[in-house]
Structures are given as C-alpha cells and as structure tokens.
Copies of this chain bind each other. A is one copy, B any other.
Amino acid sequence: MESYVSKVLDEIDIKILDLLQKESQINNAELARRVNLSPPATHTRIKRLESEGFIERQVAILNQEKLGFDLLCYIFISTNIHQSELLEKIEGSLATMSEVLECHCLTGEHDYLLKVVIRDRKELDYFIRKLNKLGISRIQTNLSLREVKNSTILPIVDNEQSC
C-alpha cells in the first residue's frame, strides 16, 4: 500500500497527521524534531491541517470497561419506511441517542448498523424498547464477547501497527 501524497499534502504533512492520530498530546517541539522541521514551521502546518479539515477533532479515548460499560453491541436494524422525511427523523433520533456511538447506512439485508455501548442487560432492554418506539421493524443484536482490536488510526503510512 502506498501513502496518500497529493498536491495539498506532502510527506511531512502525512507524518504529522500520523503522529497526531497516534498521540495527540505530543508537544510541538518533539513533533518538530520527529519530522525534521523547526517548531514554528511544524506549528503552521498543524494549523493548516486543522483549518482544511484533515484533522477533525482531538479527543481523549476513555476506558469503557472501567467506566462501567459492560456491553458493546452491534445492532442491525431495518425499517419498513421509505418516506425520506420519516427516515431523516429516525436517523436524527438515532444520532442523538448517546448510547449509539456509530450509525451507518449499510448495503445488504439490513438498513442500518449501530455500534452501541450499554452498562448492563437492563439498559439494553430499555434501549431496544426505545428502538421499537421509533418504528423499527427488525432488530438483530450482536454482543461483543471480546475486543481483539479497537483503533481510530487510519493507515496513512505504510507500516503496519499493532495498537
């Protein structure tokens, strides 16, 4: 696989993005050292990468388990609705539910796939009731038994990484 180097992004930009997506609290001087540039030059590039939207946001990833979220579920849902106005309303409702971390419109037999974090069985029951109330006709819940990998790192540089 080759790196994504375009007219707008050179190798140094890619390197900066990669370092930041792995460890965003790295300080500017250290970042500059790793890309062989002066701190101000590096800083200017970061600001450009932010303003141009390559960096969407910087976040802290919290430990689900330590915070009491015992259940991670992937839930497939289907609706019988084909009216776009109603679908938008359902999507809006799904997006505002804080248990729903991800929601994707998918190819295949189901309409949407949800990634949902839940504390316990009781809350899962409550959540599925909420889905039913939205007018969702079919729900297929898959529980994660074990997390093998969970990363936000896009493969923008060649080397395979393990985290």
A residues lining the B interface (CB < 8 Å)? 1, 4, 17, 20-25, 52-64, 66-69, 72, 74, 91, 94-108, 112-113, 117, 119, 123, 140, 142-156, 159-162
Is A150 touching B102 in the complex (CB atoms < 8 A)?
yes
Nearest CB of B to A132, in Å: 18
* Copy total for this chain: 2
Which of B58, B152, B156 meets A23, CB within 8 Å?
B58
How distant is the Cα of A72 from the Cα of B92 in the complex, in angstroms?
A: 21
The majority secondary structure among interface residues of chain A is: mixed
8 A-B pairs with CB atoms under 8 Å apart are A1-B98, A21-B61, A21-B62, A56-B60, A59-B59, A59-B153, A67-B156, A152-B152
The residue of chain B having its C-beta at the shortest distance from the C-beta of A116 within the complex is: B155
Is A145 touching B106 in the complex (CB atoms < 8 A)?
yes
Known: A100-B149, A144-B104, A154-B62. A67 touches B54 (CB 8 A): yes
Is A24 touching B59 in the complex (CB atoms < 8 A)?
yes
Known: A60-B17, A107-B145, A162-B96. A152 touches B66 (CB 8 A): no
Which of B54, B107, B142, B154 meets A117, CB within 8 Å?
B154
Q: Which of A100, A112, A154 has the most CB atoms of chain B within a 10 A radius of its CB? A: A154
